[in-house]
Amino acid sequence: MKAIWKGEIIAQSEQTVVVEGNHYFPVGAVNMDHLTPSDKETFCPWKGVAKYYSVRTGGELNSDACWYYPEPKEAAENIRDHVAFWKGVEVTD
């Protein structure tokens, strides 16, 4: 699987974890040079608190375009150290 924004591959892995239709990429498969920490946080009752990154490439910023669970609840332990994308970031195989 690949996560692509503005023609740039942001993440690539053959071992994503799919939860609720979203592919979570292992953090080691993500090009962190394209991510900037965000102040945004959301809460999921069964996964816990999600934190966000903005994606930057080609001089453009896609605010809060990916998220992760730094301390997932037990039911979501399989997505610890994984990142998922949205907001126009294309996830494809």
List average pLDDT for each run of 10 residues in the chain, which is 93 residues long: 97 97 98 97 98 95 98 98 98 96
Residue 86 lies in domain: 2-92
pLDDT confidence of residue 50: 98
pLDDT confidence of residue 48: 98
Domain count, the chain: 1
pLDDT confidence of residue 27: 97
Q: Are 54 and 34 in contact (CB under 8 A)?
A: no
Domain CATH number, residue 50: 2.170.150.40
pLDDT confidence of residue 13: 98
Residue appearing with tokens 């699987």:
1
